[in-house]
Structure 1
Amino acid sequence: MSRKDRKAASAQAAQAAATDRLQAPESDSGRRLSPWRVIGAALVAVVVVSAGVVGFQWWSARASVDVKPWFASFVDVTATPKYGFENLGATSTKDAVLSFIVSDQTNPCTPSWGGAYTMDQARGSLDLDRRIARLQQQGGTVAVSFGGQRNEELAVGCTDPTELKNAYAAVVDRYKVGTVDLDLEGDGLVNADATARRATAIHDLQQERRASGKNLAVWLTLPVSPTGLTLDGTNAVAAMLKAKVDLAGVNLMTMDFGNAKDEGKSMAATAEAALTAAQKQLGVLYDRAGTHQSDPSLWAKIGATPMIGQNDDEGQVFGLADARTLNAWAVSTGIGRMSMWSANRDKTCGSNYVDTSVVSDACSGVNQGKETFAGLLSKGFDGRIALGEGAVTTAEPTSAAEADDPAHSPYPIWSTSSSYLKGTKVTWHHNVYQAKWWTKGDVPDNPVLNAWETPWELVGPVLPGETPIPQPTLPPGTYPNWSGETAYDKGARILFDGVPFEAKWWTKGDSPEAASANPDSSPWAPLTQDEIDTILGGGTAQK
């Protein structure tokens, strides 16, 4: 029974009780209730009912506030260069919001990562499922964000309600997430039909999961100005509330304020003004939906996502001081979530990146020294993203003594006699490793102290039910075998021990084998796996 139904039932019970007293016969003692006692009893009943309603509202607000505020960086999954979000598991800010799931370019009801990879393709080309599992093994949790600025959010082009709900469900089930984020921008925000379809689909998905004993936290990520949410933003929230979606909260993109920003105010102060205005708007929207929320509860439903460092608007830079200021204000105010765009950018740009006023996908554009924006913004946000059921956790790994099974290994099992190009992946002791440079005879799980001491990088565990992923190989005769009697010009390619090499300069009689021991002085450089993929005319083969 809903809170509204309980309130109505209680009121009806109180009214019935008062009516019964007014019509009650004389008692055995012959005494009859006076009208004043009847009125008094009715007033008491009303007070009790009101107290019950107020008490329930207080409990509801406290239930929301008692959820610990959490921090998680957005991660651009398809950005170049690829960002190793799984390495966040070794930091104090382990959680990540992976972005963005959008419509596939050929089928609007098929979810894809950035319009570039279907989920199955991301498994192979990005090894995404395994990297998520690796993060989870180290105690991290992921949420998935739908939408974003550049591509089409699912509800825009997928007009069939059932297919739309199934598309959202496919992502939730594939990655076993307990939290989803709907980043609404462009047509995904202003298209009224898409707004209604999305709200219905998310409500139905949330109800289905609850019926099976699973939770699904839903966040809306929306643009904001210093004066609060736009009309399209409030419409998006209203549509969710009208559809009876249980919103975990509304996350505001406190970035790119354009001409609306007061030049005399810092980015942090502008963000605080925007968040304060949006909190008031959210209260009005809940009241209009018939579900009043207390101020603490509303703040717990507010999230903030600044764009760290250089924003898209050239004159707007969210610096380290802004991060400290916004964090202190957010913790004291009690907002429920802090994020940032993005973990990919949380480092100082290298000296070869000349114009830091132009936004980079791979650095912040400000001098961070030894500090990170994640470290500054996450202080006081001790909660975690809701973990989806069945996600890989920190369970004990399979014993290394148990042999790897070729039939259930995604990549070839490492062999001491084989040579491996940079970028090659192998299976070893139930984990997947990737070669950082050409290697032969180096055990992947050698317990070295420093990462630079090993040519192998751990990607993640072999997942349950995996089978071999077909790997591209050069057809026989693509290049001639190396000969010590032949002179080779710069750029010539040969095979040595089955490995393709390219000559860095003219050479004769220099064995490519020396490239492993002394790559700088060797005239030969082994090709990488990516180069082989290019030669074959495509990306990594997909299962």
Structure 2
Amino acid sequence: MHAAAHRHRALAVAAGLGLLLPPLLAAGPEAAASAAPAPLAAGSMAAAPYEYLGWGDPQKPADVMAATGVKWFTLAFVLSDGGCNPKWDGSRALTGGSDQAAINAIRAKGGDVVVSVGGWSGNKLGEKCSSASALAGAYQKVIDAYRLKALDIDIEDTEFSNATVRKRVVDALKIVKSANPGIVTYVTMGTTPSGPDANGKDLIKKGAAAGLANDGWVIMPFDFGGHSGTMGAATVSALDGLKAAVKSAYGYSDDTAYRHIGVSSMNGRTDDAGETVTTGDFQTILDYARRHHIARFAFWAVNRDRSCGSGGSAGDSCSGVPQAPYAFTKIVVQYAG
């Protein structure tokens, strides 16, 4: 699936390690009605750019906070260790290591984190856990390890394309929401320029049919494989399509539907040759987010939010476009929900 796929596939190949980032069931009106709108993520949690601590010469989160004012990060990625057990990149323990140290440092500076489970490559918990209850248990281990207020499920590749797994993820998240009152959940997926594809629409419908009060259905509007116009305009079109899908599935009003969608863009040169997301495009997204009070404005990734220097090219540690350090983060941090 293009939008989510290329982002992590290209970066996973460069890093040489596994990363993470869903047939149609219609939601009946009574099922949709039972999925009362989720509590809305407000304030700085809504602006939580991704940082990946496993590659790309990651900046110290505390330094990013000091330079930009950002308070929240989405830290990626938690994967399966080969079974139904979560580890960072499928190999690093949740507690006691460098990842926990980074989270502690963020919190010491008054910030907090969303942890992202998923991505393009590697062993995926949604597939390795054989039931919704087992998958919810794996998610719960992550929540408990860090006393999380928010969890992001970045559903890509075979997790996204398998209808059984899509249903398992939705059902697991419903268990998590019940067991952790007030926790904010995001489900992040790829998209077309006109909105979610058939798998994405089905995932949203499955959520509504299950009564999942998800806080944010989030799309990654890039790696389109060619389109006309700016990436800002393409993102607006994709978000409008997402809003329509969420409104239809859940029976929300327009305003409520907008407040339950989100965007995770990619700064600078994307994985598609010739595709560039500019700071101007980010400003377009910010304007849209403010106008409609969407649930989330994030991007991939803080690691890339700097110029590549002489002779450099876009990759895991720079954007591939001329820019001041943290130019994209400084736009995202202006969003307050």
Distance 1:66 1:144 in 2: 15
Higher RCO (C-alpha under 8 Å, 6+ residues apart):
2
Contact 2:56 2:303 in 1 (8 A): no
Q: Where does 1:186-197 land on structure 2 (aligned, <5 Å)?
A: 186-197=157-168
Distance 1:382 1:324 in 2: 14
Residue 243 to residue 86, structure 1, CA distance change in 2 (3 Å): farther
Residue 370 to residue 181, structure 1, CA distance change in 2 (3 Å): closer
Matched letter for residue 198 of structure 1: V
Alignment: residue pair count: 305
Distance 1:110 1:203 in 2: 19
Distance 1:226 1:143 in 2: 26
1:85 equivalenced with 2:56 (yes/no): no
Q: Where does 1:411-430 land on structure 2 (aligned, <5 Å)?
A: none
Distance 2:326 2:55 in 1: 23
Deviation (angstroms), 1:113: 1.3
Contact 1:307 1:341 in 2 (8 A): yes
1:249-278 Cα deviation digits (max 9, x unpaired) = 11110111113x22xx01101111111111
Contact 1:251 1:302 in 2 (8 A): yes
Query: Any stretches of 5+ residues in structure 1 without a counterpart?
Result: 8-59, 288-292, 384-543
User: SS in structure 1 opposite 2:77?
Assistant: strand
Residue 183 to residue 170, structure 1, CA distance change in 2 (3 Å): same
Distance 1:298 1:135 in 2: 31
Q: TM-score normalized by structure 2? A: 0.84
1:143-198 Cα deviation digits (max 9, x unpaired) = 11111111232011211444322111000000111111111110010112211222
Q: Corresponding residue for 2:17?
A: none
Q: Please point out which of 25, 48, 52 is paired with 1:76.
A: 52
Q: Please point out which of 286, 300, 311 is paired with 2:259.
A: 300
Contact 1:88 1:140 in 2 (8 A): no
1:147 equivalenced with 2:122 (yes/no): no
1:94 equivalenced with 2:49 (yes/no): no
Q: Corresponding residue for 1:226?
A: 193
Q: Where does 1:394-409 land on structure 2 (aligned, <5 Å)?
A: none
Contact 2:307 2:325 in 1 (8 A): no
Give the number of the structure whose residues are more often helix, by fraction: 2
Distance 1:65 1:208 in 2: 18
User: SS in structure 2 opposite 1:116?
Assistant: coil
Distance 2:108 2:291 in 1: 32
1:387-415 Cα deviation digits (max 9, x unpaired) = xxxxxxxxxxxxxxxxxxxxxxxxxxxxx
CA RMSD of aligned residues (A): 2.4
Q: Corresponding residue for 1:205?
A: 176
Distance 1:243 1:163 in 2: 17
User: SS in structure 1 opposite 2:122?
Assistant: coil
Matched letter for residue 264 of structure 2: T
Residue 331 to residue 164, structure 1, CA distance change in 2 (3 Å): same
User: SS in structure 2 opposite 1:313?
Assistant: coil
Q: TM-score normalized by structure 1? A: 0.53
Distance 2:325 2:51 in 1: 21
Matched letter for residue 248 of structure 2: V
1:166 equivalenced with 2:166 (yes/no): no
1:366 equivalenced with 2:325 (yes/no): no
Q: Corresponding residue for 1:340?
A: 299
User: SS in structure 2 opposite 1:99?
Assistant: strand
Residue 237 to residue 267, structure 1, CA distance change in 2 (3 Å): same
Contact 1:77 1:113 in 2 (8 A): no
1:324 equivalenced with 2:291 (yes/no): no
Q: Please point out which of 80, 84, 89 is paired with 1:103.
A: 80
User: SS in structure 2 opposite 1:325?
Assistant: helix
Deviation (angstroms), 1:64: 5.7
Contact 1:152 1:188 in 2 (8 A): no
Matched letter for residue 322 of structure 1: D
Distance 2:237 2:52 in 1: 27
Q: Where does 1:339-488 land on structure 2 (aligned, <5 Å)?
A: 339-351=298-310, 353=312, 356=313, 359-369=314-324, 372-379=327-334, 381-383=335-337
Residue 376 to residue 89, structure 1, CA distance change in 2 (3 Å): closer
Higher Rg: 1
Deviation (angstroms), 1:95: 0.6
Q: Corresponding residue for 2:211?
A: 244
Matched letter for residue 273 of structure 2: E
1:277 equivalenced with 2:241 (yes/no): yes
Deviation (angstroms), 1:82: 3.7
Contact 1:64 1:297 in 2 (8 A): no
Q: Corresponding residue for 1:181?
A: 152
1:116 equivalenced with 2:76 (yes/no): no
Distance 2:246 2:127 in 1: 24
Contact 2:51 2:58 in 1 (8 A): no
Contact 2:61 2:105 in 1 (8 A): no
Matched letter for residue 178 of structure 1: K
Distance 2:159 2:310 in 1: 38
